[in-house]
Amino acid sequence: MTALSRRAVGVTAAAAALALVAGGAVAAGSITANGGAKRLSGDQTAAVRQAIDGGRARNVILLIGDGMGDSEITIARNYAYGAAGELPGIDALPLTGEYTTWSLDKADGLPDYVTDSAASGSGWATGTKTYNGAISVDIAGEPQTTILELAKANGLRTGNVTTAEIQDATPAVLEAHVTSRSCKAPSATSAQCPDNALENGGAGSISEQILDTRADLVLGGGATYFDEAATAGDWQGETLLDQATDRGYQVVTDADELAAVTRADQSRPVLGLFADGNLETRWTGALATHAGGAEDPITCSANPARADSVPGLAEMTDKAIDLLDSRRGKGFFLQVEGASIDKQDHAANPCAQIGETVDFDEAVQAALDFAEHDGRTLVVVTADHGHSSQIVYPNTTTPGLTRTLLTADGKPMTVAYGTADEGGSQDHTGTQVRIAAYGPRAANVVGLTDQTDLFFTMRDALGLGSRGHGRH
């Protein structure tokens, strides 16, 4: 379904803006004609003008495709919709730019050209560059106030949704401040981040800080870390899961329980724990190998390990918006992460990587549908860093790993991974990545920005000013 078919075009400025990039898959054979592959329909000046809104946003929805560089977007589009098609969510946003993602070298404070998710996420969460592995602390280890904390301090509702463990880097940067992303539970924090451990006067592990930050809604995986007990404080010796219940959290563990929730606020925040670790991917298929480019092209299939009892990302996004959108409140801030685009890129698993991009795209559609009808919501879609998958000539033999897939065009597409051998973990890349937006202040993503600019764009769109920039 294309952006044009999903939205009534021409009725409002919002609809016109969302239809700015509106092509969709073209009819078979028409791409061979003059202009047959063009995406624009006439002059776009008026549509761009309508997309520019310098007003104040009531809500911000930030959607992060982890590891979703331009190559990952193109691979998913080609496979699922064809080369002349479009991803109906990601490709529908009217204003687009690129942002730089580099982090800092902790030793000398100079650029580290390839970021990890922790440093990049800390950048947009706080506006402060930091070192790889840091969770919303600066290069000296000092906590930096996050956009979620700032929004909550100003009376907005807050949410955090992911297909990874909720303690993983991208969700963690909104709700925790630790010197290493590995400090997800009390035992790991005592061993690897002792200054952050409760028994040493710190704020505790990422899991414990999530409970303390008390966003109105947190959904994802990572249940296993809540089996550990606190090492100090008011809940010493009590498991984090029991602590959550004692502190008034509504703990839900499957789609039916989530669907039954009717409120999410400071009296009854929602903690969704739908897997012990990360959520299962949507699609599965053969990994890239040294022989993958020479074999017959494959098609992807549904992942049998993905249970119907676990809510999908779009379902979680819809529910989060429904629970956070209170007309009596001041608005909300919500972050949504498609986490396993990155994780399956690491694994050289193109089918799972593509499936997670399509899954993420449906969450983007859910956010845009709400924003169009609301009229006061800034939607931002971006990635934290690039990754290693590349489209190469079909059946190419490379020094790296390849897998050839049969796309929606009925043509083979070979995807290559060249930064690790079979069984290893493919690396991030230091490229700039796409950032796109719709709604109030969306024009601030146009051109070349940095991931730290996003913090200020969101903060200013919500009218939060600089209050609380130091840790509140």
> Where do we find the tokens 């929602």?
270
Q: How far apart are CA 278 and CA 120, in angstroms?
A: 20
Q: Which two three-digit tokens encode residue 367?
A: 């956010």
CB 66 within 8 A of CB 340: yes
Q: How far apart are CA 297 and CA 407, in angstroms?
A: 9
The three-class DSSP label of residue 22 is coil
The three-class DSSP label of residue 8 is coil
DSSP 396-427: ---SSEEEEEE-TTS-EEEEEE-SS-TTS-PP
CB 247 within 8 A of CB 303: no
- Looking at 5, 41, 103, 117, which residue is catalytic? 117
Active-site residue, 117 included: yes
- For 26, counting Cβ atoms within 10 Å of its Cβ (0-12 exposed, 13-18 middle, 19+ buried), the class is middle
Q: In what order do the strands lie in the sheet with 332-338?
A: 250-252, 270-273, 217-221, 157-165, 332-338, 59-65, 377-383, 433-438, 95-100, 447-450
Amino acid (one-letter) located at 219: L
Positions marked active-site = 117
